[in-house]
């Protein structure tokens, strides 16, 4: 995993006055969410109008869901963040540890505002400890027995004689 310098903006636990930038970003997020919901609803209306498309759609969703479930990120690769949301609540969220900031918004678990812009944040720490490295101590190589050494010497002497005979030809 790459070395990440985690960012921080403001102090979530201190009082916070929303800025014009915060209000503008929240409004933009709400517009994006509304447009995305409308576009998805329109697409699903078209898909569910055709039985063949419906079957293919469900098959693809099943494949994607299985893929998502099979690739769970281990806790030591998840960074937890303390964040202050646009709605004023302070919550904890998480993101893959290779990202230096939390997501830009989230659903507030307290009031349900979705999306709610993250206006201040600080890293808390990884969600789990990295696994202990399993460095096995290399065992000392075993010394060959006298019989093994004698067999090896005999084999090398035979090879030496064969090579000398080839050179003489």
* pLDDT confidence tier of residue 40, bands split at 50, 70 and 90: very high
Q: Give pLDDT tens digits for 74-102.
A: 999 999 999 999 999 999 999 999 999 99
> 3-class DSSP state for residue 121?
strand
CA distance 41 to 47: 10
Tell me the average pLDDT of the chain. 91
pLDDT in tens, 112-133: 999 999 999 999 999 998 888 7
d(CA 77, CA 96): 6
- Beta bridge partners, 9, equal 121
- To the nearest 10°, the Cα dihedral for 113, 16, 28, 90? -30
Stated pTM of the model: 0.68
Average pLDDT over residues 162-167: 87
Percent of the chain with pLDDT over 70: 96
Kindly list the domain boundaries of the chain, sorted by start residue.
Answer: 20-126
Instruction: Label residue 1 by pLDDT band (50, 70, 90).
Output: low
């Amino acid at each position: 995993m790459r070395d990440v310098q985690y960012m921080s903006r403001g102090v979530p636990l201190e009082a916070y006055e929303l800025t014009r930038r915060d209000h503008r970003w929240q409004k933009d997020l709400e517009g994006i969410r509304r447009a995305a919901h409308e576009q998805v609803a329109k697409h699903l209306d078209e898909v569910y109008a055709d039985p063949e498309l419906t079957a293919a759609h469900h098959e693809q969703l099943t494949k994607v869901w299985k893929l998502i479930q099979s690739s769970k990120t281990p806790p030591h690769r998840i960074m937890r963040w303390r964040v202050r949301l646009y709605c004023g609540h302070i919550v904890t969220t998480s993101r893959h540890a290779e990202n230096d900031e939390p997501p830009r918004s989230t659903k507030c678990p307290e009031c349900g505002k979705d999306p709610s812009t993250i206006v201040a944040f600080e890293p808390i720490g990884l969600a789990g400890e990295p696994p202990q490295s399993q460095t096995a101590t290399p065992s000392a190589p075993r010394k060959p027995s006298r019989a093994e050494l004698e067999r090896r010497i005999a084999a090398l002497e035979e090879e030496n004689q064969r090579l000398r005979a080839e050179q003489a030809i």
